[in-house]
């Protein structure tokens, strides 16, 4: 496959994912916003806890099979049916086990009946969504990202529609979230129809030896994912347990706002992963080129988000969630830097997986989880949700530093200071500018600050002619595919 053809495919897939994910994230954000306003800080805290508690267990259903399936099927599409069939069976069996474990765990912790019921409902949703991700892995391996995006939009729209109807009917928390299981069943049915028509039909002849081999090979992926999921959810669970519903609600607002932008690195790396995996076998030079360009792109995006986010944090919270959630402002000011670190970690992280270094990722993730839990134990009792935010930032920073060190030592060394100093200076200047106009309308501050940042980059010579040419090569083939 030629370089231009790869650029075209990456562009099309990135545009599909980003366009649809903007819609999906927008729908999900609106869902969290209306739930938070409807239920209040305490009710939203219970909702957030139930979602995070069930989310911590979901990897016991996933088992890391998605990453393994994408990597292997991207290399040999003739095995897609066999992988899909075994994925569905394995995840269904482990999903039943996972639900039983969640039921036992939440019962033993002696939470109120409403909280237990909410956990049961959302656990069923997360497990079924994980089973449905078997189809998504096949779509990704075939680089049919448009279908992944379409299905995500559909399930998000169904959930939001159901939530709005429930609010209109004045449902309580439990009746409100019953829409989640209904939506995921529709999602699975549509996924099955689309994967059969566009990619492969699942093979139902179950091979125990092959299944065991899948689980064994995916185990390092699963371990890494376990640690990432724990780090994403444990702080909310600990907040609820140590400080109650309201701090969990404040932190849930911060998490919801951050999740609006997490899709950017997630989508780009989803598109790059099969390409990185293929180039690791065929062209290390091309792999390094894509790595450098992607890292620089994420750096340019991450810095203004962090610098500007600190300035407009309170305005954004009050605008979308109301004045009652304004105490969450310090948490968001910290978490925008955690988001920036996630941006910067995304490409190095996916590169490590593509070059079969998932065991290393697992060890690093474990170290970050340990740090996160220890810091949560120390900081949450004293600083509540702000302490949880500091712990999260520290954990993500540790992962980033260690991954970058290992890649620089073993694969390719980036000249970090040469890459970072101009975007960093532009972001600092933009931050000063945003602070000076912070009293203006939030959207106006964001728009003017973004324009200032681009102007500063241009003035520093960081927007290069080669970047513009590359952008044209990416976008033009995607809009006018041959």
Q: What is the 3-state secondary structure (H, E, C) of 105-137?
A: HHHHCCCCHHHHHHHHHHHHHHHHHHHHHHHHH
pLDDT of residue 11: 53
Give the whole-angstrom CA distance, residue 95 versus residue 58.
Answer: 8
Token look-up 């041959």 returns 482
The top-scoring range by mean pLDDT among 72-81, 333-342, 353-362 is 333-342
In the chain, % of residues over pLDDT 90: 29
pLDDT of residue 1: 42
pLDDT of residue 477: 32
Res. 458: pLDDT tops 50? yes
Token look-up 């998932």 returns 358
Buried residues in 174-201 as b, exposed as e (16+ CB within 10 A):
eebbebbbebbeebbebbbebbeeebbe
With cut-offs at 50, 70 and 90, classify the pLDDT of residue 347: confident
- List Cβ neighbours of 205 (8 Å cut-off, separation of 6 or more): 85
In the chain, % of residues over pLDDT 70: 88
Interhelix angle 245-282/284-321, nearest 10 degrees: 160
Res. 482: pLDDT tops 60? no
User: For 19-35, how does the pLDDT look when each residue is reduced to its tens digit (9 = 90+)?
Assistant: 776 788 788 889 999 99
**C-alpha distance from residue 439 to each of 292, 309, 311, 356, 443 (Å):** 38, 14, 10, 49, 11
Token look-up 């444990």 returns 234
**C-alpha distance from residue 159 to each of 10, 27, 147, 162, 286 (Å):** 30, 9, 19, 5, 41
Res. 289: pLDDT tops 90? no
Token look-up 């690093």 returns 364
Torsion 353-359-360-366 (CA) sign: positive
**C-alpha distance from residue 54 to each of 115, 176, 230 (Å):** 11, 17, 11
Give the whole-angstrom CA distance, residue 115 versus residue 53.
Answer: 10
Q: Are 239 and 380 in contact (CB under 8 A)?
A: yes
Res. 99: pLDDT tops 80? yes
pLDDT of residue 325: 92
- Checking 456-460 for CB contacts under 8 A at 24+ apart, the result is 456/425, 456/426, 456/429, 456/430, 457/300, 457/422, 457/423, 457/426, 460/422, 460/425, 460/426
With cut-offs at 50, 70 and 90, classify the pLDDT of residue 473: very low
Centre a 10 Å sphere on the Cβ of residue 413 and count the other Cβ atoms it contains. 11
Number of helices and strands (H, E) in the chain? 16, 0
Q: Are 122 and 169 in contact (CB under 8 A)?
A: no
Residue 399: name the closest of 369, 354, 358 by CA: 369
Domain limits, the chain: 3-479
Give the whole-angstrom CA distance, residue 305 versus residue 388.
Answer: 20
With cut-offs at 50, 70 and 90, classify the pLDDT of residue 201: confident
Q: Are 336 and 306 in contact (CB under 8 A)?
A: yes
Q: Across residues 97-110, what is the average pLDDT? A: 88
Res. 335: pLDDT tops 80? yes
Local structure of 480: helix, strand or coil: coil
Give the whole-angstrom CA distance, residue 300 versus residue 440.
Answer: 25
DSSP annotation of 332 reads H
The model's pTM is: 0.77
Residue 308: name the closest of 395, 437, 464, 187 by CA: 437
Residues composing the chain:
482
CA dihedral 357, 360, 362, 366 (to 10 degrees): -170
With cut-offs at 50, 70 and 90, classify the pLDDT of residue 410: confident
Q: Across residues 121-136, what is the average pLDDT? A: 89
pLDDT averaged over every residue in the chain: 83
């Amino acid at each position: 496959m030629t370089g231009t053809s790869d650029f075209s495919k990456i562009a099309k897939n990135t545009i599909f994912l980003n366009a649809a994910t903007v819609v999906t994230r927008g729908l999900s954000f609106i869902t969290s916003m209306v739930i938070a306003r409807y239920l209040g800080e305490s009710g939203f805290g219970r909702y957030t806890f139930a979602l995070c508690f069930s989310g911590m267990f979901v990897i016991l259903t996933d088992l890391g099979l998605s990453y393994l399936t994408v990597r292997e099927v991207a290399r040999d599409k003739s095995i897609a049916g066999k992988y899909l069939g075994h994925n569905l069976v394995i995840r269904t069996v482990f999903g039943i086990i996972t639900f039983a474990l969640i039921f036992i765990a939440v019962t033993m912790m002696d939470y109120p009946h409403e909280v237990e019921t909410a956990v049961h409902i959302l656990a069923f949703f997360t497990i079924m969504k994980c089973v449905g991700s078997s189809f998504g892995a096949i779509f990704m391996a075939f680089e049919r990202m448009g279908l992944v995006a379409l299905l995500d939009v559909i399930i998000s729209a169904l959930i939001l529609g159901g939530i709005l109807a429930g609010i209109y009917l004045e449902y309580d928390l439990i009746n409100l979230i019953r829409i989640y299981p209904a939506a995921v069943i529709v999602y699975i049915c549509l996924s099955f129809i689309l994967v059969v028509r566009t990619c492969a039909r699942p093979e139902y002849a179950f091979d125990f030896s092959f299944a065991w081999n899948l689980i064994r090979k995916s185990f390092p992926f699963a371990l890494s994912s376990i640690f990432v999921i724990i780090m994403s959810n444990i702080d909310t669970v600990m907040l609820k347990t140590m400080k109650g519903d309201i701090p969990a609600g404040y932190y849930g607002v911060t998490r919801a706002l951050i999740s609006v932008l997490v899709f950017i690195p997630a989508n780009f790396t989803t598109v790059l992963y099969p390409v990185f995996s293929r180039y690791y076998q065929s062209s290390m030079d091309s792999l390094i080129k894509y790595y450098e360009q992607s890292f620089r792109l994420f750096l340019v995006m991450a810095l203004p988000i962090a610098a500007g986010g600190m300035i407009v944090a309170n305005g954004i919270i009050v605008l979308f969630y109301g004045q009652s959630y304004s105490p969450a402002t310090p948490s968001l000011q910290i978490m925008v830097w955690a988001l920036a670190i996630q941006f910067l970690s995304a490409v190095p992280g996916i590169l490590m997986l593509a070059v079969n270094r998932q065991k290393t990722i697992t060890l690093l993730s474990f170290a970050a989880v340990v740090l996160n839990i220890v810091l949560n134990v120390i900081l949450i009792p004293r600083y509540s949700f702000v302490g949880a935010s500091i712990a999260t930032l520290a954990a993500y920073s540790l992962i980033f530093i260690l991954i970058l060190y290992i890649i620089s030592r073993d694969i390719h060394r980036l000249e970090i200071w040469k890459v970072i100093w101009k975007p960093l200076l532009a972001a600092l200047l933009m931050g000063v500018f945003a602070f000076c106009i912070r009293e203006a309308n939030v959207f106006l501050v964001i728009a003017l600050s973004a324009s200032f940042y681009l102007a500063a980059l241009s003035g520093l010579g960081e927007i290069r002619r080669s970047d513009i040419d590359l952008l044209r090569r990416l976008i033009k083939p995607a809009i006018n595919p041959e």
